[in-house]
Amino acid sequence: MASGTPQSGVGRVIAGRYLLLNRLGSGAMGHVWLAHDQRLACEVAVKEIVFRDAVEAVEERTARVARARAEARHAAGLRDHPHVVTVHDVLEHEGLPWIVMEYVAGALDLRELVRRRGPLAPAECARIGLAVLDALTAGHERGVMHRDVKPANILLAPDRAGAPYARVLLTDYGISIQPDAGETRYTLTSALVGTPGYLAPERATGGPPTAAADLFSLGCTLYYAVEGCGPFERDTHLAEVTAVVLEEPRPPMRAGALEPLLASMLVKDPALRITASDTAAALAAIVIPQSHPRTRLDLGSRPPWEGSDATTETSQRQASHGFGLASGHGGAGEASSTARYDGASEAPTASGYRGASEAPPASGSVPPGWARPGPPVVSSPSYGHDVLSSAPAGRGFGPPLTRGERHPRRSHVLRALAACALGLLLALGGVWYAMAQRTTDGTAKPYGDAVALTHPLKDGDCVVADWPGNPFQGAPRLTVDPTCAEKTPDGQVMAVVPNASADEARGRGTAECEQRTREIREKLADVRSYALVPTGAGFEAAGRRTACLVLGAHGPVYGPLGDHRKPGMRFVDTANMQKRDCLDAPSLRAAKLVSCAGTHDQQVLGFTRLSPDTPLGRAKSLSDAACARDVPPKDYGYDPNRYEAASWTGKSAWTSGTHLVVCTVREQNGGTMGKDGP
């Protein structure tokens, strides 16, 4: 144990009050623990300062302690903000500060969410960005610059209704600063304050922390969320910092509506960068697109430009004969049927004139170029001629029609015929769709024609997924693998959720499956949740249930998952190894799942990722050291004098390009574990 480091481990009581339960994660300054507040009988999160190097410089130790105190002070000043993790207390224990914070149950940071589920939709990224920007702005108004906005510092958690990832929380004010308050800047020697790849260019070149710099970092974060990688992501930290200063971000491929905003946020010159208020407006427009409102009319009123009583009487007589138009103006009964769009982004006009911005003609006159309300002219041999009215005046049918107009009676007949034809087509289409959704025995397909299953899925069913395009876009064609091995399954049903109706399944199925599969997904390295929602026609055939699947995010899972695995199962790949699995490893190439209640050779602690340019053969010689660095067994309560890090690499992680490694712990002398281990 390094000199000056407090003894860490489950069961330790901090300041006579906080009982450490388990480690939630680690950061640049130390560990975050889940703890039980014995005084208030509730769970909290506590951050512990950790010094890994026994000969750590005095300046660095002082800087870390000062940062912890600053983090508590700055975050406490924002404790009432809905998008900032609440800080309850900062206390001294064994000479070092511990920060007591709100425990956010079920939280997942943005980096991990994207790693598990893949890039997010632009609208979802905009929702997250809007919340984080609100938190940053609240800090900026108090003079507090965060200085380390990145995906790992954004937590997503369920709200009170249980909707997954609905809460957005900014955390880790560990290197924040108030430049105008005369605070000392505790910057480590030869180190940049912040995260390479997310630093603003002016910060990377030694400039002062500003609100514009935080905005640049938020732009990098949103880019990561929507693209799955950072805009300046490189193989080394030095290369990332160089790219931030000298290179333009990679052109985004998935950003959609976010693309122009990201470009404005990632401008190198802070003076030319988009402002926070303009960013908020742009994000809000993506979250809630502004549609052009349809014209709404009071069907009991007359248009303001309606003429004399004689004109009104004429309108009423025409209405009684089935005609909806009088003189050159739209009658109330015709307004809704003549509304149209002249373009995809133009609001409909209820009057039938060229546009709402043009004034209607005066009563009884039709200036050149104006057309009476009515259906658009159809260019076809039958209707291509100019229609001239021969109706005599004084019969209540309005003034004679001018060139370019059609006879009202013929227009209504044509509309009636078109409506009948459309109705027939819709009816035939409905019949065809209903037939297509049914199986050979006449029952509806539970999940529709695209999925193609003829029977509902059960808990534990292994499936092979054939996606029509990119994975997790659209509905996959599924087949069941009854052996859960022979066809190399892509995933497994981990739960089935009953629904009261098909509408409820569509509205709540995805969120419920996210909740039901969260525990298993947190134990696996590279999987995503997928809700298989029954169609309306197949709701009964699906047993009125949504199937909650866990699928490999970038490839097959090579076997059963979670509790569907049996002790003695042999792993054919690392894809379905999960945290806290106990392994019997008779050789370096074979591993079996065994009960942790008995003796075992290794236990899975977590996962890490090797550099993309590392070949598989080379990975096997580097993975132990990577696990010792990123997932050290001592962080899980194992005595470093007795236990050491070990690892497993699988071909699938290199085939998919994820380069994930499974990190385990084992006895240094090769002995068995489980008798007196932690």
Residues annotated as part of the active site? 148
**DSSP structure class, residue 436:** H
Element (H, E) at 654: helix 651-655
Distance CA 566, CA 573 (A): 16
- Whose tokens are 């997790």? That residue is 472
CA–CA distance from 598 to each of 54, 304, 523, 582, 586 (Å)?
A: 36, 87, 21, 9, 16
Which three-class secondary structure string do you get for 89-137? EEEEECCEEEEEEECCCCCEEHHHHHHHHCCCCHHHHHHHHHHHHHHHH
Are the C-beta atoms of 654 and 616 separated by less than 8 Å? yes
Are the C-beta atoms of 234 and 243 separated by less than 8 Å? yes
Distance CA 629, CA 237 (A): 17
**DSSP structure class, residue 570:** B
In 3D, which of 660, 630, 627 has the Cα closest to residue 644?
627
CA–CA distance from 623 to each of 611, 640, 670 (Å)?
A: 11, 18, 18
CA–CA distance from 32 to each of 36, 54, 101, 632 (Å)?
A: 13, 21, 10, 15
Are the C-beta atoms of 201 and 268 separated by less than 8 Å? yes
Q: Residues annotated as binding site? A: 47
DSSP H helical segments within 371-501, as ranges?
A: 408-436
Look up residue 195 and give its two tokens. 């995260």
Distance CA 451, CA 437 (A): 10
**DSSP structure class, residue 64:** H
Of the chain, the end-to-end C-alpha distance in Å amounts to 17
501 three-state secondary structure: coil
The neighbouring-strand residues paired with 495 are 548
Give exposure, 145-163, as e/b (b: 16+ Cβ within 10 Å). bbbbbbbbbbbbbbeeeeb
Q: Residues annotated as binding site for ATP? A: 47
